Amino acid sequence: MATELPGPSQAGPSQAMAPPLAESTARVLSVAQILNALGIDYGSDAHGTAVEKPEPYLVIPGHDGPRWLIPARSSAAASVLRAWHPYNLSSRMKWFAICTAARAGLLRLTGSVASVAVSRRGALRWFERCGIRSRTGEMVILVGNPSPDRKLVVFLLHDTHSGDTHSGGAHPIAAVLKAGLTDGGGQSVLYEAEVLRKLEPYSWAPRLLSVHPELRAAAQKFVPGAMPDRRFRPEYMEMLCHLPRSGAGKNLAQVADEMARRLSPFKARLDALAPGLLDRSFDALDHDAFVPTILVHGDFAPWNMRHNAQLGYVLVDWEWADFVGLPAYDLLHFQFNDDRLFGEKSGGYAAIRSRPICAEYLRRMDLDPELLPRLAIAYLLDQLESHCRQRGSQLTAYTLRQLEAVAG
């Protein structure tokens, strides 16, 4: 049964935000659109007068318009940027230069970085809603990539010179706020909040702070910790094998019917790219096999993990979670992602199948080893639907190649 979401926060005044953006017309966002999505004034109020105590912010551009908005005079902002770790080598080098400039207070001298004025009053409303004391209202805003579920990720910062600072080992980030930029983005934010509410008893998920359905936003406690590298660690196996089981199950023939229905809008195009592959994949699942269902994170990857000194490994970004998911989904997601993102050098499904961790996982989950190819097909079909909806041609091509390797 779904967990009921809490009502709007009463900590601060409610303010209507802009309607969700149409993704087709809002690929490149302006600073005004970004701030308007948070209900924050951009330099002036509706009457054109100066907003009370505007704060200088810097805008770091990305491929599709502004990527980061950071307070110009904040030392904590540099800490947030340093915690961001691109995996691509050239991106890491560029990001290192940006972080170095931010730490030295020279970021505003960079030619591509612009300066803007942001209402402190508007920013402070979010701290009030989330129950966080602040005098400065400093926040770092990360603009999500264009997609049907585009959102903003906002890091609410502790006051640099207050009793809530990083003195005593506390982290400069107090909380993470997410706000939807599109209808899909708002739905995913509120769904993640519902998931976190259900996961409150577990230490490996962030703590939910507040939910604001009317604003398509929710806040969670920030989890400090190092982001691990690409290697699949033994601790990950322990985590996957201890994710809660639902007590229910799915018949693979029913999974095949469900996937056929979900992929039907794209079948003609996929058949043109890979004739007969979908039907062969559905046939491979058409077995009267009952598989127990478990909690699936949905994006189990190193960038969604934090190694915390007190809590161990914590998983973040639960917007793709499924409480009645198929086993091995997260394990396969980790392995296929590593193969796809880093040049398919590991050999795709054939290499994944031969790795001892797959056999160990199935053994510990009391599953027949013969289920692995069928679980891989179910995973790849699920990914294929997502890639088709988001028109990711390269992702679609990769997934079709892996489906051919399994179903063939």
Mean pLDDT for the stretch of residues 157-167? 57
- Kindly report, residue by residue over 262-276, the tens digit of the pLDDT: 999 999 999 999 999
CATH 3.90.1200.10 segments of the chain: 234-407
Distance of CA 85 to the CA centre of its chain: 14
CA 356 to chain centre: 29
Average model confidence (pLDDT) for the chain?
85
More confident residue, 262 or 228: 262
- Sign of the torsion formed by the C-alpha atoms of 376, 284, 273 and 401: positive
Residue 345 pLDDT class (50, 70, 90 cuts): low
The whole-model pTM stands at: 0.86
Which is nearest to 179 in space by CA: 6, 35, 7? 35
**pLDDT 10s digits, 326-339:** 999 999 999 999 88
Residue with tokens 């890491």: 92
Considering the four listed CATH numbers 3.90.1200.10, 2.40.50.180, 3.40.50.1460, 1.10.3720.10, the one that applies to the domain covering 234-407 is 3.90.1200.10
- Of 289, 260, 277, nearest in space to 405 by CA: 277
Amino acid, res. 374: R
